[in-house]
Amino acid sequence: MRRRRLLVGAAGAACATGAVIVTAAARAQSFPAKPLRLVVPFTPGGTTDILAREIAAKLQVAFGQSCVVENRPGGGGTIGCETVARSEPDGLTMLMGHIGTLAINPLVYPRHSYDPVKGWTPLAYVANVPNVLTVNPSLAAGSVQDLVALAKARPGSLAYGTGGTASASHLASAYFAYATGTDFLHVPYKGTAPFVADLLGGQLQMGFTGAPVVMPLAKQGRLRALAVSSARRSDAFPELPTIAESGVAGFEADQWYGITGPAGIDPVIAARLNEEINKALASADVKARLEKEGGAPVLAPPEALGTHIAAEIERWRPVVKAANIRLE
C-alpha cells in the first residue's frame, strides 16, 4: 500500500513537473502578444541608437510584432532608464543601455529611483566598441609612452576634450590619468563633434572617443591615433596597439552596450528575448554594422550582462572617486 502511494505520488510530481514545462514553453511560444518597445535614452544618431534600430528590425521579423525604438533623452540617460525601470515587467519594454547609463550613472548621480543592479532584468550583452586615444599631430608624442612622459614633465598643462562630464570619453580619460599617475586638464563639451573639432584645431592636445569618429581623420593625417582602449587589438585597426600593451598594465576602457528590462521579467521570456537578440547580433548585416563602428558582438546568456554591470560599477568606482566626478 505504501509502495502504491509512493508510485502515485511520484507520478503526480512528474505530471506537475511536466505541466510546468509545458506552461513555460507555452509562455515562450506565445510571447509577445503585443508590440515591443526598445527605449534609447539618447537622441537619434549615436551608436546606441544605431544598434537599437538594427536589433529592433530583426526582432520585428522574428516575433511578427512591431518593435518600436523610442528615444527618451535627458539627464545623461537617466530619464530613459527610469522610464524602463518603472515599466511593467512583461518583457515588452526594454532599454538599450551602455557603460554610461548602466555602470557610470549610478556612481555620478547621487540619487536614482531604482537599484542599479537589482533594478534590472538583464536580457543581452550586445557589444564592445573600443575607444581610440588620439592626439593632435603637433604634439611630440608618437606613442602612449611618449604621451605619459610629456604629461609627467608638464603636469596639468595638456588638455583633453570629452563629450561632457561623466561621458564615456571622460571616464576613459580619467581612467588613463588614474592608471598612469598623470594630471591632465579636462575640457568638457556638449557632444563629441565640438571636442573633435578643437582637437583638430590644436586647442586640445588629446582625447578618447569611439573609433568611427576619429579613425578616418587619423588615416588622413589630421589626427594621430596612438592606441585602442580594448583588452586586445581591434580587428578593424590591427596596426594600433592596445594601451595595456603600451605599458599601462590592465588598462581597458571600452564602450559596451547591453539590453535590459525592468526587474521581475519571467526568466522564460528573458531567455526567449536573449535568444532572438543573439540571433540578430550573429546576422551578417548587424555584424558588418558593428565592424564599421570598430566593435564586436558579444553572444552570451542574460546573466553575463548582469554580472558585467555589477563588476563594471565596482571597477569604475575608484576612478570616479579619484576624479571627483559628480552630477546633480
Average pLDDT, the chain: 89
Strands 224-228 and 67-71 come out as: unpaired
Rounded Cα–Cα distance for residues 66 and 59 (Å):
8
- Over range 195-222, report the average pLDDT: 91
Per-residue pLDDT reduced to its tens digit, 84-132: 999 999 999 999 999 989 999 999 987 777 889 999 999 999 998 889 9
Tell me the three cell numbers of residue 219.
588615416
Check whether domain 32-129+255-323 has CATH 3.40.190.150, yes or no: yes
Start-end of CATH 3.40.190.150 domains in the chain: 32-129+255-323
Start-end of CATH 3.40.190.10 domains in the chain: 131-246
**Given a cut of 80, is residue 293 above it in pLDDT?**
no
The band of 283, judged by pLDDT with boundaries at 50, 70 and 90, is: very high
- For residue 173, which of 256, 76, 253, 231 has the smallest C-alpha distance? 253
Question: 131-246 maps to which CATH number?
Answer: 3.40.190.10
Lowest mean pLDDT among 125-134, 159-168, 257-266: 159-168
Rounded Cα–Cα distance for residues 294 and 9 (Å):
58
According to the 3-state scheme, what is the secondary structure of 140-200? Answer: CCCCHHHHHHHHHHCCCCCEEEECCCCCHHHHHHHHHHHHHCCCCEEEECCCHHHHHHHHH
pTM, full prediction:
0.80
**Given a cut of 90, is residue 184 above it in pLDDT?**
yes
**Given a cut of 80, is residue 28 above it in pLDDT?**
no
Tell me the three cell numbers of residue 192.
563629441
Q: Are 47 and 168 in contact (CB under 8 A)?
A: no
